[in-house]
Amino acid sequence: MTELTDLGVAGIRDGVRDGSFTAREVADAFIVKVSQAKALNAFLVETPEHAIAAATAADTAREAGETLKPLAGVPIGMKDLFCTKGVATTAASHILEGFTPTYESTVSQNLWDAGAGMLGKLNMDQFAMGSSNETSAFGNVISPWKRNDGGNASLAPGGSSGGSSSAVAARLCPGATGTDTGGSIRQPAAFTGISGIKPTYGRCSRWGTIAFASSLDQAGPMARDVKDCAILLEAMAGFDAKDGTSLQLDVPKWEAGLSANLNGLRVGIPKEYRVDGMPEEIEALWQQGIDWLKDAGATIVEVSLPHTKYALPAYYIIAPAEASSNLARYDGVRYGIRDLPTGAGLQDMYAATRADGFGPEVKRRIMIGTYVLSAGFYDAYYTQAQKVRTLIARDFEKAWETCDVLLTPTAPSAAFALGEKSADPIAMYLNDVFTVPSSLAGLPAMSVPGGLDKQGLPLGLQIIGKPLDEQGVLNAGLAIEQRAGFTARPEAWW
């Protein structure tokens, strides 16, 4: 029999439903895996009691002959950006050490209401700012993958949802939550050979999710295949009156709507995404992806998104500007740490607390945000960036006149080694070159694994869809998944 921890979300859900195994057996198996994987540093807090309680509820409901909830018996990992009632939540920052939320985020509550259990809180880049998980105040997350060159370099799991990607790829949980501001679900999914989808902005409530850049932040699932992503997203999404930007729309039945038949679908290939210096293997995989989609019945059209190269600089004005405002709340008064130097006044307490509590990347972004919003610079930087954002969104609207989804690589490289890029912020920011434009336009986008590079590391393909067309994105992802036959998995060394 397959090991229970090799099963995905659908396999566990169906097996619990038909009595092949109990939810408790599943929970116990994953709890052991989590406890044995400390070397990955994927979990900040382990919550076996939460997973067991949900499993027991599922088993009891089954014995009583009740209809099981959609995620009954499925234990998941929860990114530490989501507030979880009674369970420490820090966004991987020292400044929130000791914070135990007295309420539950909408997204996590939705998952618990659907019957899921929590294995623990997942490590991440501090306040979701990073692309390698090296900005966590609680240590780097290590990717379960290794290069096949015989070296033993520790690789980045991507970021900011690096605990999520590492844990799912290492089979410590069948699925996990992530959040995506400029690529934080898709890039880590690509780096670790798993799938992840960022829905349309407004599909998932932001209530109770620690804010980074509010006009961009969206929650989404990360799992090993497209179907599992569809199942989890259905549970996570939904209207929430507590979030002013939540979309008042019913959640589509994405799982039931899955179809890899792409007859009549027009797939756009944006020519501006052929960037200089892109590794040949990524170029080749992109072409392979085009062929797979053709094979599934799609027609291919070249499109132009002329403002693509301005997306990253616009993002690095807008996101830090919003962050500098959002993170003003960490002042040592209401939650988290307080640093009160002897004899200090209120202002000195704020400054000392924030100097002590924020990591270097968070400080860097708050400072950039403060600068671009400061008197005399606001129009030149912030207003100009928001205008460029309008032009980027228009590029996509124009593209939708001739195509239905876009296919691009997810990231410009495979996973790099820890430390390789951390000295140069701009080199790190460039990781998000393919994911940021769709974030700025609020579009649904997902990464699916396409293959391995010469070093044996996963590479991902990204599908970007029209607003609210998660189904189109998932279906194109499914067509790629079926043809890629990606079965590679990291060998357990941890």
Partner 1 sequence: MSVDTATVKRIASLARIAITDEDAARMAPELGNILGWIEMLGEVDTTGVEPMTAVIPNTLRLRDDVVNADPLTGGNIREQVLANAPVAEHGFFAVPKVIE
Cα 36 to the chain's mean position, in Å?
24
The position carrying tokens 């497209």 is 226
Write the binding mask 158 to 197 for partner 1: x where contact by CB under 8 A, - elsewhere: ----------------------------------------
Identify the H or E element spanning 59.
helix 48-63
Q: Given candidates 149, 333, 378, 397, which one binds partner 1 under the rule CB under 8 A?
A: 333
Q: How many residues bind partner 1 (CB under 8 A)?
A: 73
Give the interface segment with partner 1, choosing from 161-169, 184-192, 376-384, 409-417 (CB under 8 A).
376-384
The amino acid at residue 213 is: A
- Kindly state whether residue 388 participates in binding partner 1, applying the rule CB under 8 A: yes
Query: Binding to partner 1 by residue 5, rule CB under 8 A?
Result: no
* Interacting residues with partner 1 between 95 and 154 (CB under 8 A): 98-103
**Which member of 108, 166, 184, 413 is catalytic?**
184
Comparison of 28 and 339: residue with beta carbon closer to partner 1? 339
Amino acid found at 415:
A
User: Which of 282, 314 has the CB closer to partner 1?
Assistant: 314
Region 195-234 residues binding partner 1, contact defined as CB under 8 A? 200-202, 215
Q: Which residue of 137, 223, 233, 247 would you call a contact of partner 1, by CB under 8 A?
A: 247
Q: In the numeric block, which tokens belong to residue 17?
A: 């439903």
Nearest approach in angstroms of CB 222 to partner 1 is 22
Question: Is 351 a binder of partner 1 (CB under 8 A)?
Answer: yes
DSSP code of 56?
H
Quick check: 24 binds partner 1 (CB under 8 A)?
A: no
Is-contact 155 418, C-beta < 8 A?
Answer: yes
Residue range at the interface with partner 1 (CB under 8 A); choices 123-131, 164-172, 219-227, 348-356: 348-356
- Check residue 408 and give left, alpha or beta (phi > 0: left; psi -120 to 50: alpha): beta
* CB-CB contact of 270 with 308 (8 Å): yes
Nearer to partner 1, 437 or 449 (CB): 437
Query: Measured from the CB of residue 17, what is the shortest distance to partner 1 in angstroms?
Result: 31
Q: How far is CA 212 from CA 217, 302, 389, in A?
A: 7, 34, 18
For partner 1, give the closer residue by CB, 371 or 494: 371
Is residue 39 part of the contact set for partner 1 (CB under 8 A)? Answer: no
Omega before 160 within 30 of 0, i.e. cis = yes
> 3-state SS of 369-411?
HHHHHCCCCHHHHHHHHHHHHHHHHHHHHHHCCCCCEEEEECC
Task: By CB under 8 A, tell whether 337 contacts partner 1.
Answer: yes
Token pair in block for residue 422:
């951390």
Contact between 280 and partner 1 by CB under 8 A: the answer reads: no
DSSP string, 140-203: ----S---TTS--PPBP--SSSHHHHHHHHTTS-SEEEEEESSSTTHHHHHHHT-EEEE--TTS
Altogether, the residues listed in the chain come to a count of: 494
Q: Which residue type occupies 39?
A: A
- String marking each residue 49-78 x if it binds partner 1 according to CB under 8 A: ------------------------------
79 is catalytic: yes
- Here's the x/- map for partner 1, 456-475, by CB under 8 A: it reads as -----------x--------
**Given candidates 329, 367, 397, 398, which one binds partner 1 under the rule CB under 8 A?**
367
Nearer to partner 1, 153 or 346 (CB): 346
160 is catalytic: yes
**CA–CA gap between residue 303 and residue 379 (Å, rounded):** 31
For the record, the structure tokens of 75 come out as 């234990």
Q: Smaller CB distance to partner 1: residue 24 or 363?
A: 363
Could you write out the DSSP letters of every residue in 239-265?
Answer: --TTSTT----PPP-TTTT-----TT-
Tell me which stretch binds partner 1 (CB under 8 A): 147-155, 169-177, 239-247, 296-304.
Answer: 239-247
The residue annotated as part of the active site, out of 160, 246, 438, 447, is: 160
363 belongs to the binding site for partner 1 (CB under 8 A): yes
What residues from 296 to 325 belong to the interface with partner 1 (CB under 8 A)? Answer: 307, 309-310, 313-314, 316-317, 324
Contacts of 352 (CB under 8 A, 6+ apart): 332, 339, 340, 341, 344
Helix (H) or strand (E) holding 121: strand 117-122
Catalytic residues: 79, 160, 184
